[in-house]
Amino acid sequence: GGMQNLMFGLTKSLSEHMMVKVFADEHYQQEKFDDDLSFSIERVGGPKIFRKFRKASLINNYLQKNTKVKNIISDHWKSLENINTKIRKTCLIHSKEINHKKDSFLNKRVVKVLNNCDHIIANSNFTKNLGIEIGVNEEKIKVINPGVFPKEEVNPKIEEKILKKLDGKEPRLITVARFDKRKDRKSTRLNSSHNQ
pLDDT digits (tens, 9 = 90+) for 15-24: 999 999 999 9
Q: Give pTM, 2 decimals.
A: 0.75
Residue 194: band (very low, low, confident or very high) from pLDDT cuts 50, 70, 90? very low
- For residue 178, what pLDDT is reported? 66
Question: 120, exposed or middle or buried, with CB in 10 Å at 0-12, 13-18, 19+?
Answer: buried
Rounded alpha-carbon distances, angstroms, from residue 51 to 26, 43, 101: 10, 10, 26
- Nearest CA-CA partner of 78 in 117, 38, 39: 117
Of 124 and 182, the one with more pLDDT: 124
Residue 36: band (very low, low, confident or very high) from pLDDT cuts 50, 70, 90? confident
Contact 87, 72 (CB under 8 A): yes
Residue 193 in this model has a pLDDT that exceeds 60? no
What SS3 state is found at 21?
strand
- For residue 137, what pLDDT is reported? 96
Residue 184 has φ and ψ, to the nearest 5°, of: -75, -175
Residue 38: band (very low, low, confident or very high) from pLDDT cuts 50, 70, 90? confident
Rounded distance between C-alpha atoms, residue 121 and residue 61, angstroms? 26
